[in-house]
Amino acid sequence: MAEFWSSPGLEPKRQYRWLFSFGIAGGALEGKLPSYICKKVDKPTFQITESEHTFLNHKFYYPGRVEWQEISITIVDPIDMDAANTLQNLIEQAGYVNPANITVDADAGDGQLQTISKKKFAQEVIGRAFIKQLDAEGDIRETWQLHNTWIKSVDFGSLDYTSDELVEITLQLRYDFATQTQRR
């Protein structure tokens, strides 16, 4: 056990060496929310459900389905690229129509009557999300890919005259499953 900590070649993963990105090349997000505005991200987690069976005075438990939990991302809202505006536009590109923009004109087309769609989020707006952990040399050592990702909630932060903190936006992302790859 003493050899573990005394080995100069051993390097544990660090919480501050990571990059987060999402979007499709050439898609709506490309270049709009760069990795450097991301301040905090949760790594994927899952839970395994259970099934219970009762027999006489005993209970027996069996593993069930794997359920991936949503993740939270905190980003800083810069003035020049306006992350709040970008996120609002993403929701609209996924199919949200502001009630003030809904028309009853039959000639307006069905674009005014669309709704939010997982397909639009997953194929046109967000695509895949990636969390990449780096080593001391900046090489990617671990990559988590979130599949069929969509934005579940956005908290645009709060304002306070007594604070000089940066404005932060918190996103909750939902996804179907995650895969991990490691480079050794």
Task: Read off the pLDDT of residues 114-160 as tens digits, 9 standing for 90 and up.
Answer: 678 788 877 777 878 899 999 989 899 999 999 988 889 999 999 99
Nearest 10 degrees: CA dihedral of 34, 39, 42, 44? Answer: 20
Q: How many CA atoms lie within 13 A of 100 on its CB side?
A: 0
| pTM of the full structure | 0.80
Assign domain 11-182 one CATH number from 1.10.3470, 3.90.220, 3.40.50, 2.30.110. 2.30.110
Q: Identify the band that residue 55 occupies on the pLDDT scale cut at 50, 70 and 90.
A: very high
Domain ranges of the chain: 11-182
How many CB atoms lie under 10 A from the CB of residue 98? 9
Task: Read off the pLDDT of residues 103-116 as tens digits, 9 standing for 90 and up.
Answer: 666 555 554 566 78
